[in-house]
Structure 1
Amino acid sequence: MPIILVSGLTGWMIHIEANRLITKEIQLVETRILTARREELKNYISLAMTAISHEFDHPGRSTAEAQQAVQQILNNLTYGQDGYFYAYDRAGTNLVSAPSPELKGKNLWYRKDEQGHFFVQELMKRAIEGGGFYTFKWPKPSTGQDTLKLGYATFLPQWSWMIGTGTYIDDIQKQIGSFEKDMRTITRHTELTFLMISLVVIGITALSVAALHFNEHKLADQKLKALTQRIIDVQEEERKRVSNDLHDGINQLLVSIRHRLELAIDQIAKPEVAEPLLRKSLSILDTSIADVRRLSKALHPSALANIGLSEAVRELGQDFQDSTTIRTEVSTMRVDHLLSESAKIALFRVVQEALTNVSRHASASLVQIELKICEPPNGPKSIHLSIADNGVGTREAGGLTTESGLGLRNMFERVESHGGTLTFEKGELGGLKLSIKIPQSENINLKWT
């Protein structure tokens, strides 16, 4: 759509500018032609004046004879198909008009043209002023039709005559019309070429976009399949872990309890033998109950609904310290009112995964967990979670990605699914530091206690 709109706008601008250019060129051509015609008329008048100049001072002739000779010369002077000269005296009487001899001797001083102007008076005025042009309609000799004519007149002060000539400018309109037709043909050809190029570009773009969408859909399907496979792998790994915990932990404890209870039943007649067996069975049963509680908490953090994320993280840190002997320092703020349930679960799972990685790989003796609210001056609140240890860290702290392991991939995906960011760096304690920033959740229930 943007390419179509841009192409349409460009084509419209080309059309407007082409019409404007044609109009301007036509005006320039018309001006040049008229300028050339004016120069031609001046040259013809100059030639005519040269042709009659010798009659002014001809010895042995009277003024009347000289005037008669000049009239005859002007009457015989023609050029082209419709070029001739005319002459009027100061009173407006026609003296020379070769194509219309019937006008000779008639006074045309008060004769009007189609515009209502006294054209002889206008020509006389310009001639007396030193020579000038006037446009009027006059019968064209070759057609007999009234045609627009550009006249030029000059004044002969010896006899107070106006001598002039003119050129019919209907052919100028034909030249301009032909020029305009050629220009518009070229313009239409240019516009058609631009249209074809635009259609080709739009077609190529459409095909490219379609191919890109196809590749994106294909890539999305591949990612979806990979994600589905990862989910299956995670589920299988979790099931395997739970199965191992049940088999190696609780199952062994229950078997041990069964053996002791059987021995106690066999020795029921001897209380001093049966009682220690029963007490040991109770102790093992308490351990089994604790293991079941641990497994249940690992499968679903019910503490989030009961005591909130902050307290659940504190409890998780304490359990981690008790089970690993790694000193765990936890500093938390109450953030439950800013997070949705899914966001709280995601953060809780990230802390679980991070502590598991510390116990397996960090060789650390201290872990610090901090959960706080960040409230910038301009912008929404966000929740920051950081987990740092004093272990051996990793040489690739800044380069850990989703390809670094299934656990890290799960952490990245959990955080990104809530619009957050997860980064790794070398922390102040000397080991690895995990930093998470999640924006405040939208449309959450703020009524909590």
Structure 2
Amino acid sequence: MQLKYKIVTLSVLPLIVSVLFICVLVFAQSRKLEEQQAKLVESSIMAAKQAELKNYLELALSLIAPLYQSGRDDEQARQQALNMLARASFGLDGYFFVYDSHGKSLMHPRQADLVGKELIGMKDKNGLPVIQALLKSAESGDGFQLYTWEKPSTGQVTEKLSYVVMLERWGWMLGTGIYIDDVEVATHKSRQEVASGVLTTVLAIASFALIAVLVVFSGGLMLNFTEQRLADRKLSALNQRIVHLQEEERSRVSRELHDGISQQLVSIKFQFELASLELESGRGRGLDNLRAGTARLGEAIGEIRRISHDLRPSLLDTLGLSPAIDQLVREFEQRTTIRTQYECGLDDAEVDKDVSVTLFRIIQEALTNIERHSEASAAIISLSISPRAITLRVEDNGVGFDPGLLDRSHGIGLRNIRERVDHHRGTFAISSSNGRTELQVEIPRA
């Protein structure tokens, strides 16, 4: 073999071997990265879904809290709670279910044929006794259980993650769940993205290697002995270029994967994920991050509840006017420390829905004015009914004001009250002096 061919062979063979080794290494690393990425995506999504389930169940518990915490154990109270939970739903396939401690279905809004049946021995397609597992999870305090169940929107049996709690006094297991078929889709998409990035990297390396081989081979044919050093320098530079290209491509793939994931995660999810990683590694900041994330989540939930209640309290629609006013008074007392007495002399069944909303808003506006302007230490709210009208009185022992200045006032609170009363063709009167202010509203009965 001539020297120039030996030079070409000695240059090309190591290059080919190194490229093949790089490709094998990239594929091996890609498999590892693919598994890590899939596990990270899956754990992140599952953590988010667990947090979401807890939020939904907390909302359900708050919905029936007035009934449960009232101490009532009669069948009417329980049936009322079941009706409230049956009407509550979220998303296309989100609902709540209730079983007793013996596995009997008490409420299932999407599969009414199961209600009243003893399902303690029912198993899913994997042989898991579903109701037994849910009861065990609820009693242990963990609450989360993974099993297969029929998805209402498709009718297909799908993986489902549920969260359940025990209502000990009633002997109920209350729970809800989320179908997690999208987790498999997300992990599959993550694997595809990694595989696509690796394939692009390998093709780029192979392309550059092929170009390099052609350049080396073509140059080697024209080389002579005096050009061997130049050829060696070119080959060295070419090898270094391949190494740089490999590192740059890996960096690009890494940035794309990282940025793509970061855009899909919100800050609260990221904080829980960070706390999980730090707890696994034994670092002390994991618990702090977990508490901070929990606190932020609690603040967000609290703010949402507050805004939702201000816009329209759920009790007004579910339980009626009196429980809604009672809750409003309790919250007002806790917030302002103003002793407030609520006297109710009417049955919610006797009050029209529109009138209930009007009365609730008037009381809400009146309490706001007491809090802001009256400097009172006590207030009284009374509702009474007669054959002719419904009467509302709100009284406080504050500093009072001049009612004659109302028409020249720029405030809109009392103006809103007057407009609401006029809408129902009612009467509105207010009297005030130092130490006593009384607002009286009469709304005619239909």
Q: TM-score, normalised by structure 2?
A: 0.46
Q: TM-score, normalised by structure 1?
A: 0.46
